[in-house]
Each structure stands twice: as C-alpha cells, then as structure tokens.
Amino acid sequence: MTSKDVHRPHDSSVCDSAKLADNSEDEGDDSDTGSTGSASSYSQSDYSDDLEPEWLDDVQKNGELFYLELSEGEEEAALAHAGALQGLPTNHVRFSDKEAEVITDGGKHKEKGKAEHKLKKLAKILRKKRPSQRRAEGSWGAGSGGQAHPPHPTSILKNQVGQRPGVVVQQRLLKEVYVYLNPKRLGSCSPPLGKGGLLEALVGLVHRPAWGKGEGGGVGQQEERLTVHGLVPSSPAIKCAQILIGDVLVAVDDVDVTSENIERVLSCIPGPMQETASCRLLYRGPLPTGLARPEGGRHPAALWGDPESRRVQRSQLVKLLWGGDAVELQMSIGHVPHIVMYLTLRLDSESSREDQEILYQYPVSEASLQLKGVRGIFLTLCDMLENVTGGQIISSSLLLSKQLVHVGYWKDGDNLLVLGLPAERVPLLHLKTVIGGVVRTLRVMYGSLDRAFCESENGPRLDHFFCLLFQQLIQPSRLSDSPGAPPPDASSTLFLDGLPAVRWLTLPPEIKVEIDTVLSDFESSDFGEMSEDFFGMRRLYVTLGSCLFYKGYLIANHLAKEDLLDVSLYCQHYCLLPLACEQRIGQLVIWREVFPQRRATPGPRAAGGLLRAPGPLLPPHRGTGRLSVCPVCPVVPPQRHFMQCVLLEAGGCAAPAVGVQGPDCVYVDQVKATLLQLEGLDGGIEERLATPPAPCLSCADWFLPAGRDAVASSPVFGRLAGAVKAPSPAGRRGLFGEAAASLRGRRPSPQRSLSDSGSEGPGDGRRDSLGSGASDGSAGSGGLFKIPRKKHPNPFYLGTLKKSLTERETEDMYNTMK
Amino acid sequence: MCAMLQAGSLHLLCLTASSGVPLFSRGVSRQLPFSVIGSLNGVHMFGGGQGAVLSCCETDSGGRVVWKVFQESVMLIAVNGEQGGAVDDFQLRRLLENTWNCMVLVLGQDELVNARNVERLKRDLRSCYRLIDLFLEGAGDGMGDLTHCADCLLVPQPGPLQEALDTFTQASESEFGCLLVHGKVVVATEKWWRLAPQEVVLLSALVRTFSGSSSCDHPVFLPQGSPTVPLRLLRFQLLPGADLCVLCGPAPSLQTAESQLVARFWCPLVETLRGCLALSGRCLPGSVKLHGDVLGLLLINRESRRAVSTVTPGDTPPGRPRPARCRELLRLFYVFAATRYLGPEEAGVPGERRQGDPLEEDFTLGFSHQPLQCYLVTEECKLFGLQTPQHQLYLLMPVSVPTFALRSLATRTLSALTSSTGF
C-alpha cells in the first residue's frame, strides 16, 4: 500500500524546508504586503525562524494568503532529475556547427513566471549599467579568438557562435548546473559573511581573487572571472557534484557574473521563490585532467538554456498552484476551444467600444477568440429564450470547425457568465455541474459574481482560478505527476468530480472520538496564554467549525453541511485534495476571506443582503468568515497528509471587523499544533484505508476476455511503462515513486486502489494459475516493455490481495521492468 | 414571465437558409411573432458567418431549440416550450429530419434547393402540412418517426397475402408493392423493403394522410432513392383501413390497375384482410401470448429495420398507466436507452456511428464495451431494454413487477416473440 512512501526519493530527514511561495495573486512587491495584517510588528530585519512564520512575506494586501511549500527532499530530487535530463535529446538547446538552434515549442521565451520577473529586471538593469562589463565579455572573446567585436546584445549565444565558429568544440565544455539555493538558510546558520561573501555562504564556492591574478592577463581585469578555487563542505555546490575545482562560474540564471557583480546578483535572489530558489549556475565544464585547469576556452559563453527542462519533473499541479508558469500549460490546450466570459446584458448604446459587453474573459487563445467572436449568440439567446420558452437558458451546443462545443450559461442579474468547453472533454451533463460549482466557488470566494468579475484587481486571481479549472477539465493528465502518461480514465474523473459530496472515510470509533476531541479542543479557542482572553481582549474571531481531511478523504467534520460544501468546493477547485495525497508538501497555509453561501441566502440570519451588495471596498463585516487552511505540519516529517480547514467568523459577537485582516499567527499556529497532535493517529487511518472492502469489489471487465485487453492498456500500466521509458538513471526512482503517487491520487476509492495495486503487484502462484489467459496483455503497453509478471488478478481473490508492496517487492518489480 | 409558447408545445419553423424568409410555421400553439422567428434564424446565421454552427440550446425549464440547415438551402428550427415533459434533443433532431424528408417527398429536392420564386414555394409547401403535422403530433400510434424502422403488423399466415401482393405488383409492371393496415406494413415486396427505412416510414405516413376511400395516384420523390425524379404512388383502398400501395413508373394508369387488377387479386382475400384489421390494435397474432404484466413493448429487428410495437388495450386496472400514456412512456424510454446505452438501431458497427453525426455527443465514450441490457425504474412503471445482435426489445411493465424479474421476463418475451412469429 505504501509503495510511495517507501520510494520516497530522498529521505525527509532534512530538517530545513525549502520555502516556496505563491505570489501570483499579487502583482505588488512583497515587502509592502509583509507589513500588513496582524503580524505587522515583525519587521523584515527580524530574521529569525522562531519568531516569524515563513509565510508572512506572502500575505497579500487584502490579507489573503496562499502559501505552499515543498519539502526540501522533493525539491532536490526534482533538481537532480533535471540535471540528468540535460543530456537527453529532449533538451531545448542544441548545437550545430554554425549556429545554435533553440527549439521552442510555442512561445517558450515569453513564458517566464511572474516570480522570475525581478531577476529578469535585474538582469536588464545590470546589462544597461555595465558597458564595461560588456566590453569585458568582448575582450574575453578576443583573448582567445584574437578578434575584437562590439558588445553583445542579450542573445549571447548566437553572437558567440556566429562570430567564432572556431570555439564550437569548446562550448561543450560549458555546463549548466542547477543548484538549489535558499537564502533564508543564511539567517539560521549564518556563517560569517567574510571574504567569501554570499558566493561562499550561499552557494558554497570558494573563490580567492588573489589566486586568479595574472591568470587571464588581458584587458578588463577589474572584473575577474570567478574561478572555483574550492568548495565548501555540505554546501549546495558540493552536493550537486557537478562543479569541480577549476571551473569558472560564468552566469547565474541569465545574468553574466564576474567577481565584481556576483555579490550583487546573489543578494538579489529574492528569498525562497519558486523560480529563483534554484539558480542556474553556468560553468565552464570540467576537464578530465584534474584540479589544475589549463587556460583553454575562456570565452564567457552562456547557454541560453530553457528553464522548462529543469522543471519537467516537478508536478505540474504544484507549478500551477504557484501560478508561476501557467503559460506553457495554457499553450498546450490553446487549440482546444474553451472560454469563460462574463458579459453584461445592459448595453450602453452610446459608447461604441467594440467589446464593451465583456467584463471578463479568459483565456486569449485562437480557438477562444472564435468563441469570443460569437458572443452575440450567447447574449441574444439568453435574452430571447426567456421570452420564447419562459425559462433561463442553461446550455447550448455549437460546432466550431467540426468540433462540438458546449456552452454553459449562468445569468446573474444583468450579467451573464458563459463557459464554453469541448464536448469530448466535458459532456453536457457534466458542464451543468461544472458551471454550478464555479459559480458557487466564486461566490464563496468573493461574495458575488459581480464582485468577483467587476473589481479589476481580481483579474489575475480569476485568471489563475480559471487556468486551474481548464487544466483540470481539459488535460487532467498533465496535472498528475508522470509526464507522457496516457490520459486518465475520463469517465471516472467526471463521475467523481460531479458528485455534490465529499468523499468520506469512516473510521473506527476510538480514532474518531480522538480526532473529534482534538478538533473540539481547537474550536473552543482556548489557547491558553496565546488567546485573547488571557490578555483581557475581545476575541478576533469566532471559530465556526473545522473539518479535517486525510489524503483527500474527509475524516471529521464540525461544519454545517453547506459550509462543508463551500469549503470542499474551494479545495476541489484549487486541487488541494489531490495535493494532500502527495507527500511532497512541506506546508500549506491558506488564509482568505470567504462568504459562506449558507448565510448569503436570506433567512433567519439575515446577513445576506449586505453580502450581495456590490461595492468596490466591502470590508469584512458581520457574516463573513475567514477560512484558514493549514494542512500540514512542517516539523514532523513522516506523515503529512492531514489538512484542516477552519472557518472563522470575524465581526460576529466578538470584536467588530474593521478593514482587511491578514492571517493571524496565533490561529495558524494553533491549527498547526492541532495537526501535530493528530500525527500519531495516522497509523490507524492508514490501516483503515488499507482494509479490504467489506463486500469484495472487482472490475467487471476482468470477467470478460475483451475487458482484459482494456486492463492491459489501462493508465496504470501505461504510466508504469512511460515512467520506465525515461532513460535517466537518476530520475527513475523518482519517476517510479511518483507514478505510484499519481496512481494513488487518482483512485476513486480505497477499494479501487486496492485493485490497482493488486494488478500491479507481482503475481503469486494463485493468480498465476488463474490469470494465465491474459499473458498477451502487454501489447497494450506499447510493446517496448514486456512486464513479464504482469497478471490480472483474479477478481474472486481480491479480498485477500490487500497486502501492500513492501520495499523488496517494489524493488523486484522495478528491476524486472528494467 | 409569460412565455410566448404554451406549456409543452412544439413548434416547427421553416425558413430559407440564405435569405431567412419564413416558409412556414407549424405548431399547436399560436404563431410565434415574426421578430422571434427572425432572431432565432439570425442567431444561427450570425454564428455560421463566424464559423460556429449553432445546433441546439436548452433552458432550465426543459425548453429546447434545435437548428438544422438542409442542403444549404432550407433552415428548419424546432422550438419546444417549457414543461413539455422531457423532449430530448434526439426527438427534435428526428423531427427535423422527418420534416425535411416530407418536404422532399412531396416537392422534390430540386424545387426546394433551387427555389426561384419563394412565394410559389410557400404555396407549394402547403401540400406537405398534413404530413408534417402528422409527424409533429407523434405519428399516430407508430414509432417509426423515432426509430426510423417501418412499423409492422404481424399476421398469423402472411403467405397468401405475400403471394397476392407479389403477383399484383408484377402485373402492375412494378417491383415495389406494399399492403398497409392502419399505416402499418403487413406485407411488402422484397424491393419495397430495400427502400431506405425512412422512406418506408414516410410512405406509410403519407398513406395515412390520404382520406376517403377512393384510389389515388400521387407523385412522390424518394428522399434517398430518387430525390429529383418523381415516381407514382398508386394507392387503392381494399377495405377501410387496409391500403394497397404500388410505386411505379408511367405504365399502368390508375383506372386500368383499379378496374382490372385489384379485384382480380384481392377479392379472394377479403376475409384474411378482415382478420388483419381485427389485429390492428395489437399488431401481433393472437397466437402470441404475452405475460400479463407486459403493458407494452417495442421490438425492433435490427437487420431488416422493421419494428413491432404494441400496448395492452384499454381496460387497465387502476394504478396502471392508460394505453396512450404507455405509448408515450415507451417512446420516452426508447429515446433514453437508444441515446445512452443501446444506441440507435442503425448503429451497426459501434465504432462507425461515432464519426457519423458530429452533433451527437457520444454518451458511450466512457464505456469500454457495448451495453446489452438496461432498465429504468420510475414511480409510474418499470422498463427494460434488451439488445441482441438481431433484435432490440423495449418492455414496459407495471411497478408491481419485482425488479429482479425484469430481465427474465424480457428474455422470455423476446424468445416467445421471435420463435412464434419468426420476426
């Protein structure tokens, strides 16, 4: 059962965590937002892990927080894999004799994430400011080629190769090394920033300027090359095992570095961000001769490497949640017609702007442009059908260049929400569920559709929201872990997503009682000397209730039914439930204002009218709650699958709610503490997850001869085959582990996962005899890989097959497949 | 808001596709205003110009609009008002197809596609109103409009009738002959069965629209077989409700055929014909015993594209649906099962249909295999659908039948029907 756990690529004994945060929802500078909220007393300079939570920097101006952190083990595994990928033909940079081809598949240059912007900007600034630097580049080139040339523009590579064909061979000596850097680590271990500076402290490279004197001997010795004279033990540089003494550091990310600007460049790495947390250090490659490096190939060429290749391995889902580089994913579905538009039916006849009726639109791709072009249809139909048939339009279908596209409608006052999706991905029945879910989630998040779509600052957030939505609907396979896997079973995903319910795991009474007690303790808000009562203050929030998820299953709920639906819809739209199944999460803290729909509907607690009132600056008031999601505990590594969602009410009977309020450290810490308390219970929950289904379940397909072939080509085997196909030795383990992880993530029920693991596991004698008819099944997995022991489990014996794969067994299977 | 269409009303609009001139509008309720007709057409035209062909839309109260353009010349729009029960997309699409076929049958494709004078076309189209209205109202007690299979009436001994029909058709210098009782095919020549199933359905419907006892000679175009060259349909009423049809060329005049041939071949068979008329309610020979709990059934022969449908007659005990309602339930269940599970009977090879009509969303996409049986339990009745390579059987039963017994009841009914009638 716990094959994933066993195969965790890196043991999580690393106590420090990589901190990666989403800042996609905020265009502004982080340092501004850090001072908002209740934790404003901490200043940036108080840099201590004890006092300041990691997520504080990421709190937005409006007090919202979405903070996601990977465990360091995961991060480094991803980098190691990416390093191995460099040698693959899939690499995006290729050299030919004359010129470098940069193979782009569609606009990759543009798709830098927002988090990268700062460094990009910096690079530009540096280039502008440094005419001398450019000259230095040129002169380096001249030093070897004996030919001076004007300063280079940005595309170093092209000039380099074009002008100096002679050094092409030497370019192989350039290597790109990805090093995982975490500037925040400096704060804790704080080595003396002595003469080595950041280069030594952060990267772990020793460079002694004096040693290099006289080596190059050319012009521009003010800015010296950064020859590696030594490596700091247990530093990122030595960990990556690719930097050798004698190498020359040429560029960090895309910025050329010399001894003059290296400190500046490194100091600008803005904290543990996604993009910049791992710097691409560019080295001149090692010569096999050893430590003493000859003086060859001193051209400072930089590879214009594609950052995508590095990130191939990292889960697309995590990437999406970070919001960094959705563009690539979005590009890949650019040809699929899909659109969301918020249109107004109240047209101003005077203003003649062409698209005045569009209040919001996403995405802007070619196929969606066509749908945008026919928005007149949607508006007219909405208007007319009400008169003709007396009902509100809910859907229409149209053929868009031979492809059937379903369009769902939701009329809200004078405005109309239109959601168009291709029929082959989203059947009409499901589309109605989808649009209902979208509307409800948006109402939970923003109070009303008008407020969500009409306030301009919500634009980027909505983009992110709908990007996630479309990715989930159109290419769910891309969000799972293994690249190149066949699309998962669409019908089962549709079925599970469409259920108006949360998947629930029943627990043995003693565990249930214990969990409920822990949750109740938390909900009583009796935080001892941390609570407001202790200081005689009014409470900031009233805890309305909380619910607890384990690996995507609801295990305890103290929320009202409607509130639970609100919370789970939010979690579903932000993929938090599948996310919690993967073990890669270090910490996830979400804090945001929500508008529970239970209260929005007019009733005895008539806060509804206020909530729906439009207005640009609606302060949180009576009836708005704050949702704090704090799923995992950063300190206890082994089991990090708990996710607790807490609904807090601001401005109820407690203190009046004034203005925007950021996350409250005390409450978040208390949630963390609650989760810590629960850590001990995961054994019992795991056991419950692993128990056989009470009536034995099996797939009807296994009884049919035709069905067996279908099983053979099922996503499970396809994934396994796809995973093994990756030829990198370093990546295999990780890939396999993740294939298993995604398999877990997709399972519709514990029972189903049981059968999956049964069909995957090595067959024992009993099944050998019964499953012999299916030995031709490997045709489905591409023929490249024969999995000799692949057998279909006998459906009658499923109940006894619940044993999990032990380490040895998975190892065995792994070897067989190799 | 007061809807323009009354509840449950079905409306059919016909316009020229290029200019949007309304040709006719049929429906039980009052006319839709011209502006609405114009916008319904305009929306489609606008989308067509932008490369997006609108096909249907649906409202929360069950209202539905379906558009379709035929031969790039005639636009047909079906509008269903609210609360009309669940009228499925499939039903409206079939209605549009049938309407177009009716128009071709009566006027010929050339007339419709290359209409020079719209006013004249409008006048000419009046002659199809009766036929179109028949389909709009649900084609009487048949199911052919939905199933596109010829509704048949099974007689105990078809031999003499078949023989008489074959010789009569030969004598009329034709190969296409058919004997209809209340619009249901009793016997037909081999060539008649080779017509496209829709055409057989259409000709049966056309004969039903003929009133009076007189024989008639009606020019028809066959939508598939000869959409541009008219043929003559000779119809003779043998007995009230029993019609004899022959499709022929110019050769025998109506008078010749009626005076010389009809009496000669059919007078000896009058008693047999009377026996057929007596069966017309049930459509099955009396020798076939159905289980008492079978309220209605629809049996389709997938190879020959013929269908038999029957509901138990009037005197139902309380608590059971009336016959008319039974027929409606059976039709709804056919639409439900055919669009989702069993597939319309023209499916043939399962994979091929999927490329057929891009407008039809494939419900079965998620299935890895072809469903063979399905059942539906409602508050009103229980229904069971069964599919074999040769047959489809849809069975309507009262709620009192235990659900686990549905399957055995259905299989037994199917074997009883096929063995005793050879259908």
Quick: pLDDT tens for A47-97. Answer: 334 456 666 666 666 666 676 666 555 555 554 444 443 333 322 333 333
pLDDT of residue A8 exceeding 50, the answer is no
Q: Give yes or no for a contact between A638 and A73, defined as CB atoms under 8 angstroms apart.
A: no
Query: A776 burial class (0-12, 13-18, 19+ CB within 10 angstroms)?
Result: exposed
Band the pLDDT of A738: cuts 50, 70, 90.
very low
Are B369 and A374 within 8 A, CB to CB?
A: no
Q: Which of A240-249, A365-374, A537-546 has the lowest mean pLDDT?
A: A240-249
Residue A593 is inside which H or E element, if any? strand A585-594
Domain covering B296-421, topology: Beta-Lactamase (3.30.450)
In this predicted structure, what is the pLDDT of residue A52?
61
Are A389 and B81 within 8 A, CB to CB?
A: yes
**pTM for the whole thing?**
0.66
**Residue in A with minimal Cα distance to B64:** A389
Looking at the DSSP bridge assignments, the partners of residue A346 are none
Burial B56-66 (b: 16+ CB within 10 A, else e): bbbbbbbbbbb
CATH class of B10-137: alpha beta
**Residue in B with minimal Cα distance to A492:** B366
Burial A139-170 (b: 16+ CB within 10 A, else e): bbbbbbbeeeeeebeeebbebbbebbeebbeb
Where do you find CATH 3.30.450.190 in chain B? Answer: 10-137
Question: C-alpha distances in angstroms, A589 versus A322, A326, B25?
Answer: 13, 21, 62
pLDDT of residue A787 exceeding 90, the answer is no
For CA atoms A723, A724, A728, A729, the dihedral sign is: positive
Give the model confidence (pLDDT) of A173-199 as tens digits. Answer: 566 666 666 655 554 444 445 556 777
In this predicted model, which residue has the larger pLDDT, B36 or A188?
A: B36
Strands (E), B269-371: 296-301, 306-311
Helix (H, G, I), strand (E, B) or coil at B373: strand
Band the pLDDT of B299: cuts 50, 70, 90.
very high
The span from the CA of A559 to the CA of A567, in Å, is 9
Helix (H, G, I), strand (E, B) or coil at A25: coil
Q: Give yes or no for a contact between A505 and A545, defined as CB atoms under 8 angstroms apart.
A: no
Q: Taking CB atoms and an 8 Å cutoff, what residues of chain B touch A707?
A: 368-369
Q: Taking CB atoms and an 8 Å cutoff, what residues of chain B touch A427?
A: 361, 363, 365
Q: Give yes or no for a contact between A763 and A775, defined as CB atoms under 8 angstroms apart.
A: no
In this predicted structure, what is the pLDDT of residue B120?
92
CB count, 10 Å around CB of A13? 8
Burial B213-223 (b: 16+ CB within 10 A, else e): eebeebebbbb
The span from the CA of A292 to the CA of B114, in Å, is 90
The span from the CA of A72 to the CA of A70, in Å, is 6
pLDDT of residue A372 exceeding 60, the answer is yes
* Domain A113-311, second-level architecture: Roll (2.30)
Which of A389, A406, A707 has its CB closest to that of B59? A389
Band the pLDDT of B108: cuts 50, 70, 90.
very high
Are A490 and B365 within 8 A, CB to CB?
A: yes
d(CA B57, nearest CA chain A) in Å: 4
Are B55 and A398 within 8 A, CB to CB?
A: yes
Band the pLDDT of B368: cuts 50, 70, 90.
low
**Residue in A with minimal Cα distance to B82:** A389
The span from the CA of A167 to the CA of A624, in Å, is 66
Q: What are phi and psi of B402, to 5 degrees?
A: -65, 145
d(CA A174, nearest CA chain B) in Å: 50
Of A185, A65, A209, whose CA–CA distance to A594 is shortest?
A65
Instruction: Please state whether the peptide bond connecting residue A363 to the residue before it is cis, i.e. omega within 30 degrees of 0.
Output: yes
Band the pLDDT of A626: cuts 50, 70, 90.
very low
Band the pLDDT of A408: cuts 50, 70, 90.
very high
Strands (E), B142-241: 150-151, 176-181, 184-188, 216-222, 226-239
In this predicted model, which residue has the larger pLDDT, A528 or A135?
A: A528
- Dig out the tokens for B155 from the structure: 């007689």
Mean pLDDT of chain B: 85
Mean pLDDT of chain A: 59
What mean pLDDT comes out for the span B324-344? 86
Q: Give Cβ neighbours of residue A517 (< 8 Å, ≥ 6 apart).
A: none
CB count, 10 Å around CB of B166? 17
Q: Identify from B1, B9, B41, B58 which residue to disrupt to test chain A contact, counting A C-beta atoms within 10 A and taking the largest count.
A: B58
pLDDT of residue A14 exceeding 80, the answer is no
Window 384-413 of A: residues touching B by CB (8 A cutoff) are: 384-406
pLDDT of residue B421 exceeding 50, the answer is yes
Looking at the DSSP bridge assignments, the partners of residue B244 are B179, B236
What mean pLDDT comes out for the span B372-394? 92
Residue found by looking up tokens 């105990």 in the block: B156
Q: Taking CB atoms and an 8 Å cutoff, what residues of chain A touch B37?
A: none
Are B361 and A428 within 8 A, CB to CB?
A: yes
Are A402 and B358 within 8 A, CB to CB?
A: yes
Query: B46 burial class (0-12, 13-18, 19+ CB within 10 angstroms)?
Result: middle
In this predicted structure, what is the pLDDT of residue A310?
34
Most confidently modeled range among A382-386, A755-759, B231-235: B231-235
In this predicted structure, what is the pLDDT of residue A195?
56
Domain covering B155-279, topology: Beta-Lactamase (3.30.450)
Q: Taking CB atoms and an 8 Å cutoff, what residues of chain A touch B54?
A: 377, 396-398
Q: Does A494 touch chain B (CB under 8 A)?
A: yes
- Dig out the tokens for A538 from the structure: 């009014």
- Dig out the tokens for B247 from the structure: 């499709």
What mean pLDDT comes out for the span A532-540? 68
Q: Give yes or no for a contact between A623 and A659, defined as CB atoms under 8 angstroms apart.
A: no
Give the model confidence (pLDDT) of A122-178 as tens digits. Answer: 444 444 433 333 333 333 333 333 333 433 333 333 333 333 333 333 334 566 666
Q: Identify from A341, A389, A409, A703 which residue to disrupt to test chain B contact, counting B C-beta atoms within 10 A and taking the largest count.
A: A389
Which of B46, B50, B58 has its CB closest to that of A394? B58
- Dig out the tokens for A363 from the structure: 């995405």
Are A399 and B359 within 8 A, CB to CB?
A: yes
The span from the CA of A419 to the CA of A435, in Å, is 7
- Dig out the tokens for A415 from the structure: 């405005």
Residue A281 is inside which H or E element, if any? strand A278-284
Band the pLDDT of B219: cuts 50, 70, 90.
very high
Domain boundaries, chain A: 3-75+501-687, 113-311, 318-485, 695-817
Q: What are phi and psi of A31, to 5 degrees?
A: -65, -25
The span from the CA of A150 to the CA of A163, in Å, is 11
Q: Give yes or no for a contact between A201 and A186, defined as CB atoms under 8 angstroms apart.
A: yes
Q: Taking CB atoms and an 8 Å cutoff, what residues of chain B touch A699?
A: none
The span from the CA of A403 to the CA of B53, in Å, is 10
- Dig out the tokens for A351 from the structure: 């203003």
The span from the CA of B409 to the CA of B397, in Å, is 10
Q: Give yes or no for a contact between B13 and A388, defined as CB atoms under 8 angstroms apart.
A: no
CB count, 10 Å around CB of A710? 16
Q: Give yes or no for a contact between B401 and B293, defined as CB atoms under 8 angstroms apart.
A: yes
- Dig out the tokens for A296 from the structure: 């060859």
In this predicted structure, what is the pLDDT of residue A315?
58
pLDDT of residue B123 exceeding 50, the answer is yes
Are B62 and A391 within 8 A, CB to CB?
A: yes
The span from the CA of A217 to the CA of A225, in Å, is 11
Q: Taking CB atoms and an 8 Å cutoff, what residues of chain B touch A404?
A: 55, 358-359, 361
Question: C-alpha distances in angstroms, A634 versus A18, A671, B197, B226?
Answer: 11, 12, 70, 78
Most confidently modeled range among A110-119, A176-185, A426-435, B182-191: B182-191
At CA A161, angle to CA A158 and CA A162, rounded to 5?
Answer: 75
Residue found by looking up tokens 């949607």 in the block: A378
**Helix crossing, B89-107 with B118-125: angle to 10°?**
110
Length of chain B: 423
* Domain A318-485, second-level architecture: 2-Layer Sandwich (3.30)
pLDDT of residue B2 exceeding 60, the answer is no
Q: Give Cβ neighbours of residue A474 (< 8 Å, ≥ 6 apart).
A: A333, A336, A338, A421, A422, A425
Q: Does A366 touch chain B (CB under 8 A)?
A: no
- Strand pairing category for B10-16 and B22-27: antiparallel
What mean pLDDT comes out for the span A569-580? 79
- Dig out the tokens for A792 from the structure: 């279909």
What mean pLDDT comes out for the span B384-406? 93
In this predicted structure, what is the pLDDT of residue A220?
42
Helix (H, G, I), strand (E, B) or coil at A757: helix
The span from the CA of A433 to the CA of A498, in Å, is 6
Burial A530-546 (b: 16+ CB within 10 A, else e): ebbeeeeeebbbbbbbb
Q: What are phi and psi of B57, to 5 degrees?
A: -150, 165
Q: Identify from B57, B87, B341 which residue to disrupt to test chain A contact, counting A C-beta atoms within 10 A and taking the largest count.
A: B57
Length of chain A: 818
What mean pLDDT comes out for the span A228-234? 73
